[in-house]
Amino acid sequence: MTNVLKKTMMALLLPFVLVLVWQLFSQMGWLNNYLLPPPSGIIDQLFALAHHGTLLKHLSASLYRVGCGFGLAFFLALPLGFLLGLVPRAQDYLSPFLNFLQQIPAIAWIPMFILWLGIDETSKISIITYSGFFPIFLNTMHGISNTDSKLKEVASTFGLSPWQIIVRVYLPSAAPSVFVGMRLGLSFCWRSLVAAELLGASKGIGYLIQEGRELAQPDLMLAGVLMIGLTGLFLDFLFLRLEKTLLPWRDTQERREVPKWQPF
Amino acid sequence: MAAFLELKEISKNYTIGSEQIWALRDLSFEVASGELICIIGKSGCGKTTLLRIIAGLEKQTSGEIILNGQALKDTGRERGMVFQEPRLFPWLTLEENIAFGIKGRMSRELNYKTVADLMEMVGLTGFARAWPSQLSGGMAQRAAIARALAVDPAILLLDEPFSALDALTRSKLLTDFLHLWQRTHKTCIHVTHDVNEALTLGQKIIILPSNPGRIGDVISLPFPYPRSLENPELRAIKERVLSQFFADFTD
Ligand SMILES: Nc1ncnc2c1ncn2[C@@H]1O[C@H](COP(=O)(O)OP(=O)(O)OP(=O)(O)O)[C@@H](O)[C@H]1O
Ligand SMILES: [Mg+2]
């Protein structure tokens, strides 16, 4: 418990110091309050937004889009990743094409998606699905195809059928990799959401920032930016907790995460 | 005693680059039911290949293996394998690892009892909930033996299971393994490159020549357990085995 407390303190130290210095500098008048409003101003703005219910409205609009987009990406990418992971040469065929797609940031697709699907929810959710799909798909596929053949051999000496080997060896062995993909995917969904909302929306956190620009209110823009960071952090934390609960054995092993797929 | 397991002129060749190499050539021997056989040979002489062929993980180039009157192909639960490394499933606890082969095949109570008995037999009681990454090398290897025994195979194949351990742990596990065999009298083929290990365990020693094609020596060891390697007869046999190794070298 004290360990958790200590870790939290360590994590909070840097932001705390930064905010403190920023606030001090603002109060000394060393910073232009228009270009860089003080932390207290941003927090006031956040409270005002929360008080009017507008914050909740924008946040829930954004979370709804990410929820749909990520959910869709997950249900498409997971089975496809499993299937192709089981095909030994699938990667040889896919890699060049995926590498091509990897060069294109999701944001570049947004105008095309709007052209195809209209300006409303469909195109936004599609772009989110698009950017969440690849990390989940790729990590799942790699997780499955990197299943230790030594463990497959053990399973086959026990006379397990191919189907049983998939369920009892491939799946658990790919699970950590799937989680890496899901966390990456979620964070990419979250990023492309903001991009999509900046380009055309009537609500959402991205819209809030856009509104701040139009009203020339930097504290509103920064409040939006802060919300994006905090919400993303919170979602990632939830996934980490989920991973810890579902894969307790990972805690005893050394972790090593290689981020794959960086569309931004 | 009728042959329980019979190997008839087993050959295996591999293509490495453009070269054909023979890992095994026309190897034949028999194993009686309940026998503890040690196969000894230098590194690279085909010991692992031989066990993998018997286990069904590898296909022989030619020859036939008969178990209980039936020609073998593919893997099967009647042949248990303990690999050179423990190969435990990292996502399963120790007890789940041991129960891997029997999961869903017997009642929950029987399953539980089998695993508990095995853990006691290999001296791992109390570690049921440990993850493999929390075990020492020796504990992991004992767990691997328990996992293979759980399905009660007709024959147990052991590929240098103790070779990666330090000398003290190895001699302790060797004694434990001997006790285990004396209790179960399971047919075992134990592969090793350690002459002392073979002399301590084997009712029969098969010397695999490092030059495939030459017939290996088969030595019977009709000595009671536990054995002392100071026994003059055993020392004479040790000399014989070692001299064959050296003869191999000077070929
Ligand atoms: N998959 C493979 N492909 C090609 N050659 C192989 C393969 N597996 C084994 N060999 C060759 O077969 C020979 C015997 O190998 P094997 O692993 O059976 O030796 P070993 O007696 O178990 O050695 P060690 O004591 O070092 O474990 C070696 O020359 C090796 O190069
Ligand atoms: Mg070997």
CA distance A96 to A103: 11
CA distance B240 to A181: 59
Taking only the tens place, the pLDDT of each residue in B130-149 is: 999 999 888 999 999 999 99
pLDDT at B251 over 70: no
Name the least confident of A114-118, A139-143, B88-92, B185-189: A114-118
Taking only the tens place, the pLDDT of each residue in A174-215 is: 999 999 999 999 999 998 998 888 877 789 999 999 999 899
pLDDT-above-70 percentage for chain B: 96
**Closest atom, ligand 1, to C-alpha of B15:** 4
CA distance B39 to B49: 12
User: What does the angle CA B30 – CA B32 – CA B36 come to, to the nearest 5 degrees?
Assistant: 100
Mind telling me how many Å the CA of B251 is from chain A's nearest CA?
A: 35
Taking only the tens place, the pLDDT of each residue in A158-178 is: 999 999 999 999 999 999 999
Structure tokens at B85: 């490394």
Query: Could you list which residues have their CB under 5 Å from ion ligand 2?
Result: B 48
CA distance to A56, A213, B25, per residue, from A203 (Å): 11, 14, 76
pLDDT at A261 over 80: no
pLDDT at B95 over 90: yes
For ligand 1, the distance from its centroid to the CA atom of residue A101, given in whole angstroms, is 42
Q: Which domains does chain A have, with CATH numbers?
A: 60-245 (1.10.3720.10)
pLDDT at B215 over 70: no
Q: Which helix (H) or strand (E) holds B225?
A: none
Across the interface, whether the CB atoms of B101 and A249 are under 8 A apart is answered no
Mind telling me how many Å the CA of A76 is from chain B's nearest CA?
A: 26
CA distance B62 to B244: 27
Q: What is residue B214's predicted lDDT score, i.e. its pLDDT? A: 66
Structure tokens at B51: 């066990």
DSSP state letter for B216:
P
Q: Residue B147 contacts by C-beta under 8 Å, 6 or more apart in sequence?
A: B88, B97, B98, B100, B101
Mind telling me how many Å the CA of A81 is from chain B's nearest CA?
A: 21
Across the interface, whether the CB atoms of A159 and B91 are under 8 A apart is answered no
Of B57, B90, B92, the CB nearest to A157: B57
Task: Please compute the mean of the pLDDT values over residues B8-22 and round it to a whole number.
Answer: 90
How would residue B244 be classed by pLDDT, with cut points 50, 70 and 90? confident
DSSP state letter for B194:
-
Across the interface, whether the CB atoms of B133 and A252 are under 8 A apart is answered yes
- Region of A106 (left: φ > 0; alpha: ψ -120 to 50; beta: rest) is alpha
Residue A249 at interface with chain B, using a CB cutoff of 8 Å: yes
Q: Which residue has the tokens 């969440």?
A: A132
Across the interface, whether the CB atoms of A157 and B55 are under 8 A apart is answered yes
User: Which B positions 64-93 lie with beta carbon below 8 A of chain A?
Assistant: 75-77, 79-81, 83, 85, 87, 89-93
| pTM for this predicted structure | 0.85
Residue B31 at interface with chain A, using a CB cutoff of 8 Å: no
pLDDT at A91 over 90: no
- Residue B8, Cα to own-chain centre: how many angstroms? 19
CA distance B150 to A179: 32
* B interface test, pick of A149, A152, A153, A154 with most B CB neighbours within 10 Å: A154
Structure tokens at B251: 């070929």
Fold type of domain B3-88+155-250 = Rossmann fold (3.40.50)
CB < 8 Å to B134, chain A: 252
Task: Please compute the mean of the pLDDT values over residues B177-181 and round it to a whole number.
Answer: 90
Q: What is residue B159's predicted lDDT score, i.e. its pLDDT? A: 94
Helix ranges restricted to H, chain B: 47-55, 94-98, 108-121, 137-150, 167-184, 195-201, 232-250
Q: What is residue A252's predicted lDDT score, i.e. its pLDDT? A: 64
**Considering chain B, what is the average pLDDT of its residues?**
89
Task: Please compute the mean of the pLDDT values over residues B186-209 and round it to a whole number.
Answer: 91
Task: Please compute the mean of the pLDDT values over residues B189-213 and round it to a whole number.
Answer: 87
What is the residue-wise DSSP string for A1-40?
A: -HHHHHHHHHHHHHHHHHHHHHHHHHHTT-S-TTTS--HH
Q: What is residue B198's predicted lDDT score, i.e. its pLDDT? A: 92
Taking only the tens place, the pLDDT of each residue in B112-133 is: 899 999 998 888 999 999 999 9
How would residue A255 be classed by pLDDT, with cut points 50, 70 and 90? low
Q: Residue A100 contacts by C-beta under 8 Å, 6 or more apart in sequence?
A: none
pLDDT at A263 over 60: no
pLDDT at B245 over 90: no
Across the interface, whether the CB atoms of B87 and A159 are under 8 A apart is answered no
Q: Enter the ipTM.
A: 0.89
CB < 8 Å to B93, chain A: 249
CA distance B10 to B7: 6
Q: Residue B247 contacts by C-beta under 8 Å, 6 or more apart in sequence?
A: none
**Sequence letter at residue B83:** F
Of A156, A159, A253, the CB nearest to B90: A253
Q: How many residues does chain B have?
A: 251
Question: B182-197 burial string, b = 16+ CB within 10 Å, else e?
Answer: eeeebbbbbbbbbbeb
Helix, strand or coil, per DSSP, at residue B34: coil
Structure tokens at B67: 């178990």
CB < 8 Å to B135, chain A: none
